[in-house]
């Protein structure tokens, strides 16, 4: 019986190999799709930039070069915060960025990146893949001629770099901080001044005093930008970005021109990069954190009073923006319902384990 089972499986494997070889041979004769990818990250920047490169490499390889993607880092073709419009208008076929940068397009965009005090990376992936997340994301972006896909996650981020200690809510008043999306709105309501800057602009702004504080990602990326040389106080937790999803956006007209197998290849490549990026950050943040500790950086936890106030403000803001329009209400309801449903399991699994 084992022999028959083995021969049967071997036959299946040989058939699959033959099919793949046949498809590969046939695909090499088909027309190539030469695409440009624009990103919001510096070229080959650790984690984010390399994530974009990995996505292009996977799509190129899995398609046997039927799709050939050339990656352009931030400012190589367009400024980093123009990715959405450029891909939407057909200037490039594909982009790699973060949805919270597009709050000016729709408040609902932010839910597909990260919500302050919201879901972590595992919960976000669960909502996107097995809840209504991707379906609602597609519905939202349809009006912009875009097809969205999750294509990375950094995991829980750090709270940011500050040039003074944060001992109370009063210390947030007048504080000029680089912080995008919903986190920036929360800071504003707390009396701070949110500033939106692309990653490559952060160090100079912090070093010269244009801003008093900044969040970026975590030890892995923050060390790469040398932020420890511009500020002394490094705060946690990243209340504003507990599980930030990175997006791949594809021009819908270009996407619809692809045969079904190439569409599937893009979907699979995005999912692979989504998982790979989170693993990369989990491994590299630890090493970078040890380095930062050796640099005599003060790593501090936000006071409970500060976190409680920021959470209170967040709840008010989310309720307000949920009433912006029908699609934002729909996304808000789906996100909050999934968070409510998944939290009991998180509490008695991951959280309970970490607490012991």
Per-residue pLDDT at 31: 57
Give the tokens for residue 259: 């045969």
Q: Are strands 146-153 and 245-251 parallel, antiparallel or unpaired?
A: antiparallel
Helix axis angle, 133-142 to 121-130, nearest 10°:
70
Cα separation of 126 and 124, whole Å? Answer: 5
Cα distances (Å, whole numbers) of residue 164 to 61, 77, 302:
48, 37, 12
Contacts of 89 (CB under 8 A, 6+ apart): 145
Regions of the chain short of the pLDDT cut 50: 1-29
User: What pLDDT shows up at residue 3?
Assistant: 46
pLDDT digits (tens, 9 = 90+) for 244-297: 999 999 999 999 999 999 999 999 999 999 999 999 999 999 999 999 999 989
Q: What is residue 198's predicted lDDT score, i.e. its pLDDT?
A: 87
Question: Quick one: 240 exposed, middle or buried, by C-beta within 10 A (0-12, 13-18, 19+)?
Answer: buried
Under 8 Å between Cβ of 96 and 247: yes
Q: What is the pLDDT of residue 29?
A: 46
What is the pLDDT at residue 250? 98
Each residue of 3-54: pLDDT tens digit? 444 444 444 444 433 434 444 444 444 659 999 999 999 999 999 999 999 9
The pLDDT assigned to 30 comes to: 64
């Amino acid at each position: 019986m084992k022999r028959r089972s083995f021969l049967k499986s071997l036959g299946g494997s040989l058939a699959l190999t033959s099919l793949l070889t046949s498809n590969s041979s046939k695909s090499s004769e088909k027309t190539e799709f030469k695409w440009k990818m624009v990103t919001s990250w510096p070229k080959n920047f650790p984690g984010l930039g390399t994530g974009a490169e990995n996505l292009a490499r996977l799509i190129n390889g899995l398609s046997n070069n039927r799709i050939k993607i050339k990656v352009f880092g931030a400012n190589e073709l367009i400024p980093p915060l123009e990715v959405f419009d450029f891909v939407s208008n057909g200037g490039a076929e594909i982009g790699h960025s973060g949805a919270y940068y597009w709050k000016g397009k729709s408040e609902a965009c932010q839910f597909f990146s990260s919500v302050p005090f919201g879901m972590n990376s595992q919960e976000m992936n669960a909502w996107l893949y097995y809840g209504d997340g991707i379906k609602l994301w597609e519905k939202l972006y349809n009006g912009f001629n875009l097809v969205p896909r999750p294509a990375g996650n950094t995991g829980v981020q750090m709270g940011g770099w500050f040039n003074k200690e944060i001992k109370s809510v009063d210390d947030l008043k007048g504080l000029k901080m680089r912080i995008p999306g919903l986190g920036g709105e929360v800071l504003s309501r707390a009396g701070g001044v949110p500033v939106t800057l692309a990653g490559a602009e952060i160090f100079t702004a912090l070093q010269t005093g244009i801003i008093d504080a900044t969040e970026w990602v975590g030890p892995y990326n923050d060390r790469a930008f040398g932020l420890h040389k511009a500020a002394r106080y490094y705060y946690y937790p990243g209340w504003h970005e507990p599980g930030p999803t990175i997006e791949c956006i594809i021009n819908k007209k270009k996407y619809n021109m692809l045969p079904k197998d190439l569409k599937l290849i893009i979907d699979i490549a995005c999912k692979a990069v989504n998982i790979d990026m989170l693993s990369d950050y989990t491994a590299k943040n630890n090493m970078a954190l040890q380095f930062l500790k050796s640099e005599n950086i003060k790593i501090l936890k936000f006071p409970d009073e500060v976190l409680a106030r920021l959470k209170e403000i967040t709840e008010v803001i989310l309720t307000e923006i949920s009433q912006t329009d029908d699609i934002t209400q729909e996304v808000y309801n789906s996100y909050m319902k999934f968070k409510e449903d998944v939290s009991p399991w998180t509490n008695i699994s991951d959280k309970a384990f970490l607490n012991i």
